[in-house]
Amino acid sequence: MAWTKVMPAHPVVAVCGATGAVGNEFLKVLHDLDFPASKVIALASARSAGKKLPFEGCGQVPAGELTVQEMTPDSFEGVDIALFSAGASVSKAMREAVVAHGAVMIDNSSAFRMEEDVPLVVPEVNPGDVSWHNGVIANPNCSTIQMVVALKPLYNLARISRVVVSTYQAASGAGAPAMAELYDQTREFLDGKPEDELTISAFAHRIAFNTIPHIDVFLDDDSTKEEWKMVVETKKIMGDDNIQVAATCVRVPVLRCHGESINVEFVGDVPPADAREALAAAPGVTVMDDPANNVYPMPGLLAGTNDTYVGRIRRDPTVKHGLAMWVVADQIRKGAALNAVQIAQLLLPQE
């Protein structure tokens, strides 16, 4: 069933999961992009109802405070766009109510990403896919988003046949408690607390001064679900089931921003100079690639930024037509909140 409701120029926006890390970032991004909302509603669980959230304003909504309301099926009456980051179970529970009230759900969870009738959208890569939504549009996994933003300009030079990616994913990708655990555990470790007494709850092992090659659950083939997401989501977003993707996803003791080491194999030759030129001209991409002056993207210096940063661009001599590169992006902004609000921008009436 095609979606026929016309999006108003000044939509009512509901931020669902407003008290979480991504929900808070939704509010910041709505302000930063001056999204033309007529009203912004903050929704969360019953225990957060009544909480005041600072909001810098956007569109017709003045700066001030938003009072958090309990999210119920009736919360979506009069809502045009619902930005969801409340977990897959909540998204699934609320989907019918959101769509029935005529709102478009832009969902940050993994709940609907691989459903055939749900577009999986990165605006720099496949913006046209929003045209066939049926009330739900999925936001991809954070590590997938930044990779495909960097891959798309290169794919336009020559079709990509294979990608091998290793991720260096920040602790905050596992949520606010995980980021707090990195802080607390690092302090405990430096204070000399014995290994077996360190507080470990957000991860399977100590994250301070360590790396953990385990994100999400393990699957039957011994890959993790995070790695599986990168494989299947890349194919769907790029619109090419023939791209082969091998991923290894690793949690690192960085507070914010994911890094990715990516090796790309093409069907034809793509010289590094051509790759740099294409990437530099691509929307949402900043090239930081001057090895002689030690210029390359680093997670610790890019928190809070919007772009996908690419550096260390060079030939991969192990395959006939290969490039290697290093990609960094803020996984809470481009990897979540920013990408979702950019999807919402695509839904606005075109002037």
Model confidence pLDDT, tens digit, residues 227-260: 999 999 999 999 999 999 999 999 999 999 999 9
Q: pLDDT, tens digit, for every residue of 96-123?
A: 999 999 999 999 999 999 999 999 999 9
CA distance 336 to 156: 25
pLDDT at 351: 73
Active-site hit among 16, 58, 101, 142: 142
- Is 205 found in the same domain as 99? no
- List the beta bridge partners of residue 277: none
For the chain, how many structural domains are there in total?
2
CA distance 13 to 234: 28
Domain extent, residue 38, equals 12-140+336-347
pLDDT at 350: 87
Q: What is the mean pLDDT of residues 263-292?
A: 98
- Is 149 found in the same domain as 133? no
C-alpha of 289 from chain center: 23
Q: Which residues are annotated as a binding site for NADP(+)?
A: 19-22, 47-48, 172-173, 331
Q: Is the pLDDT of residue 334 over 80?
A: yes
Active-site hit among 16, 58, 101, 258: 258
Whether 58 is catalytic? no
Q: What is the mean pLDDT of residues 19-35?
A: 96
Whether 133 is catalytic? no
CATH code for position 279: 3.30.360.10
- Is 115 found in the same domain as 29? yes
Instruction: Identify the residue whose tokens are 């940063």.
Output: 309
CA distance 300 to 255: 8
Taking the CA atoms of residue 34, residue 288, residue 128 and residue 226 in that order, the dihedral angle to the nearest 10 degrees is: -100
- Is 171 found in the same domain as 53? no
Q: Confirm if 148 and 125 have CB atoms less than 8 A apart.
A: yes
- Is 310 found in the same domain as 169? yes
CA distance 235 to 242: 7
Which residue type does 195 have?
A: E
Degrees, nearest 5: CA angle 222-227-231: 115
CA distance 85 to 106: 9
CA contacts within 13 A on the Cβ side of 195: 5
Q: pLDDT, tens digit, for every residue of 292-323?
A: 999 999 999 999 999 999 999 999 999 999 99
Which residue type does 130 have?
A: V
Q: What is the mean pLDDT of residues 189-193?
A: 97
The structure's pTM equals 0.97
Within-domain flag for 57: yes
